[in-house]
Chains A and B, each alone.
Chain A
Amino acid sequence: MSKIIEVSQLNFSYPVDEGMAPAHALHDVSLEIEEGEFVAILGHNGCGKSTLAKHFNGILKADSGRVTVLGLDASDEKNITEIRRNVGMVFQNPDNQLIATVVDEDVAFALENLGVPYDEMVKRVDEALEMVDMTRYRHHAPHRLSGGQKQRIAIAGILAMAPKCIVLDEPTAMLDPKGRREVMKTITRLNRERGITVILITHYMDEAVQADRVVVMGEGEVILDGTPKEVFQNVGLLHSLSLDVPQTAELMFALRQEDIKVPIAVLTEEDCIAELEKLLGGVTHDQN
């Protein structure tokens, strides 16, 4: 696999009023993301995860260090169009991202700006709507859709550009449980079936569990980086970073505090049931 994003020793501070000390939003961050990976980024509010994500498609520029996307230097203005075409971003509030009055026009918006020929545009819009399972809503008005549907339209708008990578910044924060399930299903499918690199910023541990890799940030630095199982071993550290672990792992952690021997990183319902069945094995017999 080749590297789609390479960040090395990135430093960044937001501008402050004269005379005030600059606040470091990112401090010496180094990170490599492989093509086709599904990476979740976790961290408390203000830890720098959104700031980092905005470097992935050149919205922000590094103070020092290097960001390379598809081998292109993100600090070079002439690479920006190519980078943005390949790394699309989806944000938290779906209402701020939809502009047209009809769904398919909204999805076509970026293509129009890129000057894609009409026939090609129709083809790509069709495909994009298909990928997010919203074809039957193509003539609907976006503002009348549910939150989950709106987010899928926002994702389709990015997909129409045929990007190699999608960065989603808390895409489910404003959605109801069903909307969250829809969006998560959509992005995991895009990753598994289409090989699109997915970078998901989230506060929901249950979403992070679905990724191949979890990066935890704190105070502008990368603190942990590994598979969900590896990362969610560190219950104490995650708590100290204002983060949670999935409820199932939290339960295991609580049991271990009572000297009950169970593994910690139990991340799914199925695994949790299996572990508890092992634990309760004798109990059911005694009762029956």
Chain B
Amino acid sequence: MIKTEHLSHAYGVGTPFETAAIEDVNIHIEKGDYVGIIGHTGSGKSTLISHFNAILKPTSGRILIDGRDLWDADKKTRIQTRFDVGLVFQYPEYQLFEETVYKDIAFGPKNMGLSAAEIEKRVEKAIHFVGLKPSVLEKSPFDLSGGQKRRVAIAGVMALQPKVLILDEPAAGLDPRGRDEILSRIRDYHKETKSTVLLVSHSMEDISRNANSILVMNKGRCAMHASVPEVFEHADELVQMGLDVPKITRVFISLQEKGYPVSRNVYTVEQGKAELMRLLQKGGDQNA
């Protein structure tokens, strides 16, 4: 779906402040995958994802969407990419601007040149995906709560029905319930639409609960790109990169290192409970 070849991007080229934001990134994101992107502040996460829908042009290297080189193609193809790859920025609620929620969500589809009937269908579907009632459609987005605004903004990108949905910290600043709610909506969206989803997050817990694979950025380079268990296996390296593994994972790694026959690959409370129950039942049987 998305492929990069020696992708590099430098800011301020030709000035004394030239800095390489990403360097020689070679990744391949499969169609239908749910990828968690982690990395310290300034590791190049945002620079990387801004290449996926042609907001940034590589300083060198190539970026291919569905096998097509984005910058070798004509302008029309690149514009189409903006619809195929939907990007939800951090704090997207600050980008709402229309008079009504309906108009705001319809803005993207309208720019795609869709018919009024199709636009209506898409708005309804998007609002359903983010879990808002149709009654909010006629309200001003500015009369909604922060969490609702955020969902409207996400719906606006979902209404494009992009093949790839990229979200940059969609849960930042929300309370635990708000986080769970928005992330489970995105999970359902991924399942239902079978689209590719990329989630940028600083929360290892959120990543482990949602993503299938993890892409780790470190100092502008792709340090790892593998399944969740393979990446969290490198707990010490992740900490050195300014990252972490879920707390519960550290508990199970310690138990294993102390000689208990537990799996190291525990990332969520549910997995932890299942693992303990398995062991306790086994132990119980043997005692009996």
Give me the interface of A with B, judged by CB distance under 8 Å: 43-46, 92, 146-148, 170, 173-180, 203, 205-206, 242-244, 246-248, 250-251, 254-255, 258, 260, 269, 272-273, 276-277, 279-280, 282-284, 286-288
Determine the main DSSP class of B at the interface with A. helix
Q: How many contacts A-B (CB < 8 Å)?
A: 129
Given contact pairs A178-B243, A282-B287, enumerate 6 new A-B contacts (beta carbons under 8 Å). A176-B39, A203-B173, A242-B175, A247-B269, A251-B276, A280-B260
Question: Would you give the shortest CB distance from B204 to chain A, in whole angstroms?
Answer: 7
Interface residues on B, range: 35 or more
Identify 16 residue pairs between A and B in the complex whose beta-carbon atoms are under 8 Å apart, listed by A's number: A92-B173, A146-B41, A177-B202, A177-B242, A177-B243, A178-B40, A203-B173, A243-B176, A247-B246, A251-B272, A269-B247, A273-B251, A276-B251, A282-B283, A283-B260, A286-B283
Known contacts A176-B40, A178-B243, A284-B260: does B280 contact A279 (CB below 8 Å)?
yes
**In the complex the two chains form, is A46's CB within 8 Å of B41's CB?**
no
> Is there contact, CB below 8 Å, between A258 and B246?
no
Say if the beta carbon of B133 comes within 8 Å of chain A: no
Judged by a CB distance under 8 angstroms, whether B58 is at the interface is no
- Binary interface encoding of chain B residues 100-138 relative to chain A, with 1 for a CB under 8 A from any of its CBs, else 0: 000000000000000000000000000000000000000
Q: B261 to chain A: which residues have CB within 8 Å?
A: 283-284, 287
Name the contact of A276 in the complex, choosing from B174, B202, B259, B276 (C-beta under 8 A): B276
What does DSSP make chain A's interface, helix, strand, loop or mixed?
helix
Alpha-carbon gap, A251 to B246, bound state (A): 13
Min Cβ gap A224→B in Å is 15
The reply to whether A173 and B282 contact each other, CB–CB distance below 8 Å, is no
Q: Are B173 and A250 in contact (CB under 8 A)?
A: no
The smallest C-beta distance from B40 to any residue of chain A, in angstroms, reads: 5
B82 at the interface (CB under 8 A from A): no
Bound form: Cα–Cα A170–B176 in Å: 13
Q: Shortest 4 CB-CB distances between A and B: which pairs?
A: A178-B242, A242-B177, A244-B176, A177-B244
